[in-house]
Structure 1
Amino acid sequence: MKLKIYGGLSLTLEQVCSVLPEAVSLPPIRRGDLLRDVEEGVNVVGIIDGEFFQSMAVTPTEVLDALRTGMVVYGAGSMGALRAAELHEFGMVGCGRIFEQIRDNPYFLDDHLGVTFEDASSSHVSFPMVDFAATLEALVMTGSLDESSAERLYGVYASLHFAERGLARLAVHPALSREPRLMRAINLISANVVRQKELDGWELLHRIRDDLSKVVILNTTLNS
């Protein structure tokens, strides 16, 4: 069984291996990687992170071609969630909340997933919209932030280019400079960040682990 996981941003390569030690853990997927995986006879691929701005993105056609060979492809978190939402009807397995949001919302914007980074071993340079939105929702649900403030912050943050999104940039945005309550809310967000991409990445890893365990049990039963 050959298994590869493309991550490195939402989850570190070490985190991937903590759940799936047998997996080859790789940086964000880019165009051409799946073709190579097919040629190498890889059986299962999990896609969490993928390159958007830095390089050519893996295409839906590449994923479909891989699925046609019998490869099982999972997606969650970032690029994986996007491709799974597009291709779940063709057999790609989607996991996590972000996948569900993209699948169920035809107006979802791809740039809400985007982050900038130096390389897969570096920290995020920008803070993705999906994580920002998840943080706002959690704060509203706990009563720590009112809905009107959340909506205002969401609108301003969404207006930024994805490469410029970050709490430091938000804190100096001219639209918020005369609204002290929103400036205080930014500090609240900073202290209570929900990393939805990471949470969905963990869900993907555990889904693959559980599915592989079921295969092992089935094979053992058939061979007994």
Structure 2
Amino acid sequence: MHTIIYTGLSIPFNEAEKILPDATYLPPVKRGDILEILEKYDDIDIIGIIDGVFHQTPAVAHKEILKALKHDITVVGGASMGALRACELYPYGMIGVGNIFKDYKNEIIDSDDDVAVALDPDTLKPLSDSWINIKYNLEYATNDSIITHKQKDELLKIAKETYYPKRSFKYVIGKSNITNKDELLEYIKNKNFDIKYEDAKKTIEKIRKIKKY
């Protein structure tokens, strides 16, 4: 049985393979990709959607995922595009995983822009920071008294108003009026928390558990 997982951006292929070696890992999913693999393979048991293309080409369509579900294929999503589509399609059987999925479901976030990043098409490495990752890190900084709630709100507003390919901790903090910019940057560097990476791992771990049933 074939298990297909679209990622490479939130988590590198080599790290994903350490969690679940017996899967086929493909780059971020785009419009038409799932229809293509449904034509290519007739023994797919699970499709995992972690990363997807948002703006460079059309995003994966809901009807593609629904078609896979109608073929009795388990579809699991989390971390990025997967979390967004899982929030939209969990009533139809798609399985959502992780905190970002919960944030979409609970309407804490509501835009694909919240998880979007610019990427290097050759290496699949992110070239910007996602708004959701900035949000989680600033919440940690607030809880640890590095910044105030008012400063956090200012930074999140700047991040939200910044076009996603330009978003980075350094850019957003540099645009702000806070006085302890270097301290905050150092805190984030040392914290090294990546919510999309953590949710990507959870998504692959969930797929691994399903395969063992």
Q: TM-score range by the shorter chain?
A: over 0.9
Q: Which residue of 2 aligns with 1:51?
A: 53
Displacement, 1:188? 2.5
Q: Which residue of 2 aligns with 1:190?
A: 189
Q: Which residue of 2 aligns with 1:168?
A: 170
Match status 1:95 vs 2:97: yes
Displacement, 1:122? 3.8
Partners of 1:5 and 1:16 within 8 A in 2: no
Uncovered stretches (5+) of structure 1, i.e. residues with no partner:
215-224
Q: Which residue of 1 aligns with 2:3?
A: 3
Cα RMSD, aligned residues only:
1.7
Q: Which residue of 1 aligns with 2:62?
A: 60
With normalisation by structure 1, the TM-score equals: 0.88
With normalisation by structure 2, the TM-score equals: 0.92
Structure 1 residues 202 and 7 mapped into 2: Cα distance closer, same or farther (>3 Å)? Answer: same
Mapped to 2, the partners of 1:107 and 1:200 lie a distance apart of 15
Please give the per-residue CA displacement for 1:23-48, whole angstroms capped at 9, x wherever unaligned.
00111011111112222122211000
Please give the per-residue CA displacement for 1:59-109, whole angstroms capped at 9, x wherever unaligned.
111111111111110000000000000000100000000001111107612
Displacement, 1:20? 1.0
Mapped to 1, the partners of 2:109 and 2:146 lie a distance apart of 28
Displacement, 1:22? 0.6
Q: Which amino acid aligns with 2:105?
A: R
Q: Which residue of 2 aligns with 1:206?
A: 205
Mapped to 1, the partners of 2:199 and 2:57 lie a distance apart of 23
Mapped to 2, the partners of 1:152 and 1:190 lie a distance apart of 20
Mapped to 2, the partners of 1:17 and 1:120 lie a distance apart of 19
Displacement, 1:171? 4.1
Stretch deviating more after TM superposition (137-146 or 157-166): 137-146
Mapped to 2, the partners of 1:180 and 1:5 lie a distance apart of 43
Q: Which residue of 2 aligns with 1:37?
A: 37
Displacement, 1:199? 0.4
Uncovered stretches (5+) of structure 2, i.e. residues with no partner:
none
Please give the per-residue CA displacement for 1:162-194, whole angstroms capped at 9, x wherever unaligned.
111012322442xx2x54234542443333242
Structure 1 residues 143 and 111 mapped into 2: Cα distance closer, same or farther (>3 Å)? Answer: same
Partners of 2:151 and 2:178 within 8 A in 1: no
Partners of 1:38 and 1:69 within 8 A in 2: no
Mapped to 1, the partners of 2:67 and 2:126 lie a distance apart of 31
Q: Which residue of 2 aligns with 1:16?
A: 16
The number of equivalent residue pairs is 211
Secondary structure, in 3 states, of the residue corresponding to 2:5?
strand
1:113 to 115, 118, 125: 115
The percent of aligned pairs where both chains have the same amino acid is: 28
Structure 1 residues 5 and 166 mapped into 2: Cα distance closer, same or farther (>3 Å)? Answer: same
Partners of 1:140 and 1:150 within 8 A in 2: yes
Q: Which residue of 2 aligns with 1:85?
A: 87
